[in-house]
Amino acid sequence: MSDNWSQNPPPPAPPSPQPAPPAYAPPQVPAPGQYLPASQAYAPQYVQPQSRGGEGQAIAALVIGIVGVLAWCLPILGVPLAIIGIVLGVMGMKSSKRTLAIIGLVLCVLSLLAGVVNGVLGAVLAVSDPTFLESL
């Protein structure tokens, strides 16, 4: 039996783990009297974090909400504007400008309600008293 053990070599050792590469490249420092190449001289020092997107939609919802508050008196203009603003406000809720999206959403909902009420009251008045517009 000792003969059998001597003929079989021991199993190879598992490979040693490689050290992880650094997360960033170490800065290159030129030797005294030398300069960095032009492509490396003005390299960015940091990477800007990726935004989640939707900032423009949040701002657009706020602007449309402000305009919608002024345009509710014309339901044909105020109601579609408010609907567009609500859609943009919901899409802008995922952005870092969530507060602007919420404010725009509230303004758009208020202008939508005011525009619908104005439109319904106008239709009721027009049907109930056809001479109402002539008296103005």
Indicate the domain borders of the chain: 55-125
DSSP-derived secondary structure for 26-63: PPP-PPTT----HHHHT--SS-PPPP-S-HHHHHHHHH
Q: What is the pLDDT of residue 11?
A: 72
Q: What is the pLDDT of residue 48?
A: 58
Which tens digits make up the pLDDT trace of 53-92? 678 899 999 999 999 999 888 888 899 999 999 999 999 9
Q: Which residues of the chain have pLDDT under 70?
A: 1-10, 16, 19-30, 35-53, 133, 136
| The model's pTM | 0.58
Distance between CA atoms of 87 and 31, rounded to whole angstroms? 58
